[in-house]
Amino acid sequence: MTVAEDNLVGEAVAALGLTDEGPIGAIGGQKAVRRVSREGQTFVLKVVALEFTTDETLKRAQREVQLLSSIDNPNVVKVESALVELGDPVHAAAWIEEYLDGDDLGNLLTGAPWTWVDAKSMGVQVANGLAAGHEKSVIHRDLSANNVRRLSSGTYKVLDFGKVLDFGFARHTLRSGVTVAGQPGTPGYLTPEHLNSYSGGPMQMSDVFQVGILMYTALSGVSPYPWTGDDYEYISRLKNGTMKPLGDHRSDLSSDQIEVLHRALHSQPARRFRNAAALRDALEATS
């Protein structure tokens, strides 16, 4: 079974003592995301169908959910339950997270370019959430705009931290079938490390790069590395660090502001900020 169908959702709801209030976001695929409630509180239920699973796969998933539960940071979504295994033999896993109002960042980047103040606030908060994971040696690896949510209060929350959803066995491929180093990622938000351009794959500096993409897009209205459907052309630009300077889009930004973003987006990981905390501190110091 590879699809999180309604019967699996029903098993998860029963196992966790929840009331199902319907799907949230995309419907179908390996993962089901549902709005649920229990004792007057609203949560998000996540159910993942498992096939050809192993004890190690489940142990890793358990460790990752436990780790996320240990992160107490205002800019990281909270995991509200332990991971529950469904079936014997196990055919699915489920857990609940806090329910967030507001909107995904992806829906907020389609309008007019942001002011530096607004983009800086977003970048600082997202980097702060990532820094909490980095302190525990957790790398997000797939920080796309749809993995960040802005609450109605103005707070930004990093979602799916640590890629719990992938359970470590999914290989991400682009439309043409080009394998991206066996690493999860989203076209338009990949890093050179995802392409095996640097040994070891994604690292803390990769999360820094992806924050840079989010901020550049907010400030300019376009991605520094847009994916237009041609995988090989996209990969070539990413490997070579071919992007339009931010100053070409925004002549009103200061040299310090542009320098911080360009450093975050450097094609060589060692030339970026060493981790999300360093990026956060640099942004806070930039007026």
Assigned domain for 164 exists: yes
Assigned domain for 1 exists: no
CATH code, domain with 43: 3.30.200.20
Closest alpha carbon to 183 in 128, 239, 139, 248: 139
- Give the per-residue pLDDT at 74: 94
Is residue 278 within a helix (H) or strand (E), and if so which, with residue range?
helix 276-284
Residues 61 and 129 in one domain: no
Which tens digits make up the pLDDT trace of 233-286?
Answer: 998 999 888 999 999 999 999 999 999 999 999 999 999 999 999 999 999 999
- Give the per-residue pLDDT at 118: 97
Assigned domain for 37 exists: yes
Residues 86 and 138 in one domain: no
Residues 116 and 13 in one domain: no
Bridge pairing between strands 156-158 and 103-104: unpaired
CATH code, domain with 230: 1.10.510.10
Which tokens go with 220? 């300019």
Which tokens go with 108? 């907020």
- pTM, 2 dp: 0.85
Which of 47, 77, 98 represents a domain boundary (last residue)? 98
- What residue type is 165 in one-letter code? L
Assigned domain for 18 exists: yes
Bridge pairing between strands 41-49 and 19-23: unpaired
Assigned domain for 53 exists: yes
Residues 152 and 219 in one domain: yes
Task: Give the count of domains, the chain.
Answer: 2
How far are the Cα atoms of 155, 189, 203 from residue 65, in angstroms, in the given order? 23, 24, 20
Residues 192 and 257 in one domain: yes
Which of 57, 75, 98 represents a domain boundary (last residue)? 98
Residues 14 and 155 in one domain: no
Q: Which domain holds residue 21?
A: 6-98
Confidence of residue 215 (pLDDT cuts 50, 70, 90): very high
Q: What is the mean pLDDT of residues 45-65?
A: 73
Q: What is the mean pLDDT of residues 115-126?
A: 98
Taking residue 163's Cβ as centre, other Cβ atoms within 10 Å add up to 20
Task: Share the mean pLDDT of the chain.
Answer: 84
Which of 45, 80, 98 represents a domain boundary (last residue)? 98
Residues 258 and 131 in one domain: yes
Which tokens go with 54? 């192993």
Q: What is the mean pLDDT of residues 45-62?
A: 72
Q: What is the mean pLDDT of residues 203-214?
A: 95
Which tens digits make up the pLDDT trace of 121-180?
Answer: 999 999 999 999 898 888 888 889 988 999 999 999 998 765 433 333 223 334 433 444
Q: What is the mean pLDDT of residues 109-121?
A: 95
Residues 173 and 39 in one domain: no
- Give the per-residue pLDDT at 186: 81
In the chain, what percentage of residues exceed pLDDT 90? 55
Residues 133 and 181 in one domain: yes
